[in-house]
Amino acid sequence: MQHAYTKAQLTEVVHEGIRRSKHPELYIKLILTGGVNADGITPGKPSLILLFLAAGSFPAEYRSRGVALQTVTHERYLAVAKSLNYMTAVVELQRARAAGFQDVLYVGADGAVLEGTTVNFFIVRTGKLYTAEEGVLYGCTRKHILRLAKELGIECVLGKLTKGDVAAADEAFISSTTRELHPVVRIDTTTVGAGTPGAVTLRLMQAFEASRSLIV
């Protein structure tokens, strides 16, 4: 799908939306749809929608104490594409929260540990940072964290994560634009490391806090 706007035009519209908004913190979402067509399926003339919403916040304890994830067997279709197909996330997140978890961790049919509902997933083992290389969304925040890790001298390993890798992890955390970094202290019934935010995770959180303006 192709839209008719230049980057400069989109930038101006985003700036105008910010100026008109009354919210001190904004969540800005750009959605490109297939538009309208006679059969209701085949893309026609694309429609571009910009949403300007009040940015929500997560409990402070998610950052200070960490979160718990419930694993679910699921692989997003065309995982590298950021789509509006959130049906599994909507259903499984409700189930997870009802069971006392804060989010969901997707595991592929082959046992590969992938990502969360709207987050990327990382583990730390013997001082090295690990995250899935394939079958996940390549989020902007994920990219920034990998860059920060290298600047801090933390070795980054991109590859296939297994349940065994996760079970042996010293630390774990999730990341996204809205969450930034949330330490993970429990996955299903297994405690991650000491059950508290780890040293590498805290270093990355501090570096992230000081470098928000550099995220692209």
Active-site residues, by number, are: 82
Residues 124 and 71: their CA atoms lie apart, in Å, by 18
User: Is the CB of residue 10 less than 8 Å from the CB of residue 28?
Assistant: no
| DSSP per-residue codes, the chain | ---S--HHHHHHHHHHHHHH---SSEEEEEEEEEEE-TTSSS--EEEEEEEEEE-----THHHHT-EEEEEEE---TTTTS--S--HHHHHHHHHHHHTT-SEEEEE-TTSEEEEESS-EEEEEETTEEEEESSSS---HHHHHHHHHHHHTT--EEEE-EEHHHHHT-SEEEEEETTTEEEEEEEETTEEPTTSS--HHHHHHHHHHHTTGGG--
Q: Which residue type, as a one-letter code, is found at position 95?
A: R
